[in-house]
Amino acid sequence: MSEREIMTERSEPREPLPAPRVGGESVEPVAAHDGRRLESPIESEVALGGRHTDASKVSGSGIASGGGRARFGDRIFLGLSSAAAVTVILIVVLIATFLLIKSVPSIADDKVNFLTSTEWGTDPGNLRFGIANLLWVTVIISLIALVVAVPIAVGIALFITQYAPARVARPVAYVIDLLAAIPSIVYGIWGATVLATALEPVQRFLAHIPLPLFDFKQPNSTIFDGAVVLAVMILPIITAISRDVFERTPIANIEAALALGATRYEMIRMAVLPYGRAGVVSGSMLGLGRALGETIAVYLILSTVGGPFSFSILRGGETFASKIANGSAEFNNPQSTGAYIAAGLVLFVLTFVVNSAARAIVNRRKDFA
C-alpha cells in the first residue's frame, strides 16, 4: 500500500465505537427531543431531563453515596448512637446543674472567702469553709504522682515496643494492664501498712533539702506516701496510651533514622519520641485526671491531723475527695451538705478542665485518632 493510499484511509471517517456495556447489556443510543442521536448515557440523561436510575443505590451497600436513602437498620443504629451521645452529655449537664444548685446557697452564707481561706467549719448558721488547703493538697499530690509515674511508664512502653522480643513484651504488657484491675482499697491498705514504712527513710532524706516543700512534719501517712501510691495506680493508663502511640510510629521514620547510621537510642530520640510526644502528654493528662479524683486510697493513707497550713509534702492532709469521704457523717442538713458539695463542684471543674486539655492535645494529632 502506497503512502497516498494510507493517508487517504486515515482521512476517511470511521464507524462510531459500539455503545458501552454495563451489567452485560448494551446501552442503546437514545433519541433526544429534537431527533438527534445521543451516543453517551450521560448525554442521554441530560437530553431526557435527568431521568435515570441512581446507580449508587446498590442493594446491600449500606448508606448510599450521594445522599441516597439509608436502609432501615442504618437509621435505627444512627438513632441509637445519637441517643447514647446525647445521654452522656445530658448526664454531665445534670451533674453540673445539681452541684451548682446545692452549693450556691452554702457559698453565699460562707463567712470567709471560699477560694482563699484554709478554715473548714460547717456548723449550721456559722459556715466558715474554704478550699485553699484542699486545692493545694489535691494538686500537689497528683503532680508528684505524675512526676513519678510518667518516666516509668514511658520507659516501660519503650521497652515493650522497641527492645523486648514478642515473647517477653506480651507478658510484661499484660502484667502492667493488670494493675488497673486492682481495687483502689487494696492500694490504700498496701500503702498505709507496707509502703509508708518503707518510704520513711526516703522522707527523712528529703527533709535535709532546705525548701518549704520538704519541711519534715511526720514520718508516715504523708502527702508523699499518697503520691507514690497514686503513681502506681495511674501507671497502667499512661503506659497503655504511650505504648499504643509508640507502636504507631511510621516504619519509614524508623528506617530513615537507622539508614542514616543512628543507633537504636538515637532512632528512638529522633523518630519515636517526637512522633509520640502528644500521645504521652495526653496519657499523662488522663492519668492526672484519675489521680485528682481518687478517694479510697488517699482516704486510707493520708493522716488528717489538723494544724496550720503548710506547703510541705511531708505532712498529712486531705484532698477534695478524701475530705468529702471523711465528712459524710455531716450530711444531715442542707447547709453542711452544701459545703461539701461546693468542694465537689471545684473538683468536678478541675477534673473537667484536665480531661478537656487532654482531648485538645489529642485532637492536634489526627494520626492518633
Check residue 177 and give its pLDDT. 85
- Looking at the structure of the chain, the number of domains it has is 2
Model confidence band, residue 69 (pLDDT cutoffs 50, 70, 90): low
Q: Are 347 and 292 in contact (CB under 8 A)?
A: yes
CA distance 310 to 317: 10
Q: Do residues 20 and 166 share a domain?
A: no
Q: Do residues 126 and 224 share a domain?
A: yes
* Domain-embedded: residue 57: no
Check residue 58 and give its pLDDT. 46
* Domain-embedded: residue 27: yes
Burial class (CB in 10 A: 0-12, 13-18, 19+), 336: buried
Q: Do residues 29 and 137 share a domain?
A: no
* Domain-embedded: residue 88: no
Residue 114 CB neighbour total at 10 angstroms: 19
Could you read off the pLDDT of 335-360 as tens digits, one per residue? 889 999 999 999 999 988 888 877 77
Q: What percent of the chain has pLDDT over 70?
A: 78
Could you read off the pLDDT of 228-241 as tens digits, one per residue? 999 999 999 999 98
Check residue 272 and give its pLDDT. 92
Tell me the average pLDDT across 274-300.
87
Q: Does position 1 have pLDDT exceeding 70, yes or no? A: no
Q: Do residues 16 and 141 share a domain?
A: no
More confident residue, 64 or 234: 234
Q: Does position 364 have pLDDT exceeding 80, yes or no? A: no
Q: Do residues 43 and 180 share a domain?
A: no
Q: Does position 302 have pLDDT exceeding 80, yes or no? A: yes
CA distance 184 to 169: 26
Could you read off the pLDDT of 242-264 as tens digits, one per residue? 999 999 999 998 999 999 888 99
Q: Do residues 240 and 353 share a domain?
A: yes
Model confidence band, residue 289 (pLDDT cutoffs 50, 70, 90): confident
Q: Do residues 240 and 314 share a domain?
A: yes
Tell me the average pLDDT across 285-293.
87
- The domain that holds 263 is classified in CATH as 1.10.3720.10
Model confidence band, residue 303 (pLDDT cutoffs 50, 70, 90): confident
Check residue 137 and give its pLDDT. 92
Model confidence band, residue 330 (pLDDT cutoffs 50, 70, 90): confident
Q: Do residues 225 and 357 share a domain?
A: yes
Could you read off the pLDDT of 116-162 as tens digits, one per residue? 898 888 888 888 999 999 999 999 999 999 999 999 999 999 999 99
Could you read off the pLDDT of 177-207 as tens digits, one per residue? 888 888 989 999 999 899 988 999 999 999 8
Q: Are 155 and 266 in contact (CB under 8 A)?
A: no
* Domain-embedded: residue 336: yes
* Domain-embedded: residue 83: no
Q: Which of 159, 162, 155, 367 is nearest to 257 (CA)?
A: 162
Q: Do residues 42 and 128 share a domain?
A: no
CA distance 287 to 283: 6
* Domain-embedded: residue 225: yes
Alpha helices in 211-308 (DSSP H): 223-247, 251-259, 264-267, 273-292, 296-301
Predicted TM-score (pTM) of this structure = 0.75
* Domain-embedded: residue 73: no
Check residue 215 and give its pLDDT. 86
What residues pair up with 22 in beta bridges, in sequence order? 25
Q: Do residues 34 and 157 share a domain?
A: no
Give me the domain span that covers residue 280.
Answer: 109-368
Q: What percent of the chain has pLDDT over 90?
A: 36
SS3 127: strand
Q: Do residues 288 and 152 share a domain?
A: yes
Q: Are 220 and 196 in contact (CB under 8 A)?
A: yes
Q: Do residues 9 and 121 share a domain?
A: no
Q: Does position 225 have pLDDT exceeding 70, yes or no? A: yes
* Domain-embedded: residue 76: no
Q: Does position 61 have pLDDT exceeding 50, yes or no? A: no
